[in-house]
Amino acid sequence: MKQASPITITNGRVVTGEGVKEGVVRLVAGLIDALGDIAPQDGDEIVDARGRVIAPGLVDLSVFAIDKPAFHFGGITRAALMPDQSPPLDLPSRVSYIAKSGKPDLWVHPLAAATRDLGGQQLAELGLMKEAGARGLSTGRGWIADSGVMLRLMQYAAMLDLVVVSHAEDSGLAGDAAATAGEMASRLGLPSAPAEAEVLAVARDIALAEMSSARLHIRQVTTAAALDLVRAAKARGVAVTAGVTPAHFMLSDLATAEFRTFARLSPPLRSEPDRQAVIAAIADGTIDVIASGHDPRGPEDKRLPFSDAEPGMAGAETLLPLTMTLVRDEVIDLGRAFALLAGNPAKILGVDAGEITPGNQADIALIDPEKPWIVDSAKMSASAGNTPFDKQPMQGRATALWKGGKRLF
């Protein structure tokens, strides 16, 4: 899929690393050629943005399934796939297959399994998987309990210059918990784990990252105490970044009332003070990435008793509008929103995307930040509609999308 002719997008508000400004973006041969106060050239296809936002295509850092219709609906042009597949991404051949799987209209960046079969014991073929296309090494949905294994992983990752993407829940404390310990879990009689399960895991992984000089990305940090640890580690110069999904800044454990299994997530929803701490961490820069955690689950996984249901939500379609609520609430500005959704994830993965700058890939989304729509789990583009935001009104949609200069819709 090649760009047929140069494209000039005019009359829009361009999101750049320096902020949002009125301007023009020109795409040539699949790359961003120029931006700013420029004029179309002879032969250019001209697209009138009509005052909308010209933004980089979203880079979704951590999804569990490749779901092109949902990604394109959500303005996502690149997605980092978690290794929790069947079979797991623990061999170079599997990583290579995934790295080629979405092209040309979606680039999939595999996060290779850190250990064989994601078992947390024996390191996988890390160097060979990097050569096969891995953009990072991940512990998957689980936590590596053996600190010696985790340290060796980080030492190898530092040598290979690969980020380690960890799931931060101490498995000894978390066990099979379906909720966070507290009043709500007690009222519902759900098996629960203390929030300290995350805190202990974050503390251990940060300590090992500091020892090994590895780059660590904690996929979800959802508690106030764990966020304080990340904040302090960054102040010391540790190469740690933190992510979160919209569910953890939009919802508290009150959403689990009436045993709503669409709100069965991993990590589980937290208390209201923790939710507020996540919003504060997004505002002050402690959190670097907002990702969808896209994990479509059908009725066979969700129409079960709450503690038996599989965790996860279909998040690709609601990633953008839910992040835009932070802009409307003046928690962050528009430039920061797209740093969280595109720029920072691209930097962590080491890909030339995520920012509208000359030379980067021409992955562009045209955004109407005010466009209203309603989430309907029965009509979602995702392969399953397991969203806790069913029937809720949203604001903000991608109205056009280009991948490598080729228009997708």
Q: What is the pTM of this model?
A: 0.96
Residue 111 covered by a domain: yes
Nearest partner of 9 among 405, 360, 398, judged by Cα: 405
Q: Does the bond joining 104 to the residue before it have cis omega, within 30 degrees of 0?
A: yes
List the chain residues with pLDDT less than 50: none
What CATH number did the domain enclosing 208 receive? 3.20.20.140
Contact at 8 Å (CB) between 33 and 39?
no
Report how far residue 193's alpha carbon sits from residue 249's, in angstroms, rounded to the nearest whole number: 20
Residue 77 pLDDT: 98
Task: Decide if 93 is inside a domain.
Answer: yes
Q: Is residue 360 part of a domain?
A: no
Question: Is 47 a member of any domain?
Answer: no
Cα 398 to Cα 409: distance, rounded to the nearest angstrom: 10
Q: Are the CB atoms for 54 and 25 separated by under 8 Å?
A: yes
Number of neighbours of residue 368 by Cβ within 10 angstroms: 17
**How far apart are alpha carbons 173 and 275 in whole angstroms?**
21
Q: Tell me whether residue 202 is in a domain.
A: yes
pLDDT for the residue numbered 55: 98
Domain range enclosing 256:
57-354+371-394
Number of domains in the chain: 1
The verdict on residue 48 lying in a domain is no
The answer to the question of residue 122 being in a domain is: yes
- Residue 403 located in a structural domain: no
